[in-house]
């Protein structure tokens, strides 16, 4: 059974799969940043207020 966590290596798999995981993680973070910039342009101050209240990747307060 494969792990549900992206990049987890429960059975001692070789480290060769770390590059795709790193690339996908970078894609997610960069894509999120670019999307937020686009939303700021589209919605302006309303979205900036939302950004101050809600974290970028995990949208809830601890």
C-alpha 60, offset from chain centre: 14
Could you report the per-residue pLDDT of 31-55, keeping only the tens digit for each?
A: 999 999 999 999 999 999 998 988 8
Both structure tokens of 24: 């996908």
In a domain, 59, yes or no: no
Question: What gap in Å lies between CA 30 and CA 24, rounded to an integer?
Answer: 10
Q: What's the whole-model pTM score?
A: 0.63
Tracing tokens 């795709």 back to the chain, one arrives at 20
In a domain, 14, yes or no: yes
Across the chain, mean pLDDT equals 80
Domain residues for 15? 1-30
The per-residue pLDDT for 57 is 78
In a domain, 10, yes or no: yes
Both structure tokens of 36: 């937020």
Both structure tokens of 37: 């910039």
């Amino acid at each position: 059974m494969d792990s549900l966590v992206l990049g987890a290596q429960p059975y001692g798999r070789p480290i060769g799969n770390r590059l795709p995981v790193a690339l996908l993680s970078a894609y997610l973070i960069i894509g999120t940043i670019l999307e937020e910039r686009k939303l700021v342009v589209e919605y302006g101050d309303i979205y900036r207020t939302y950004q101050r209240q809600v974290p970028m990747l995990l949208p809830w307060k601890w």
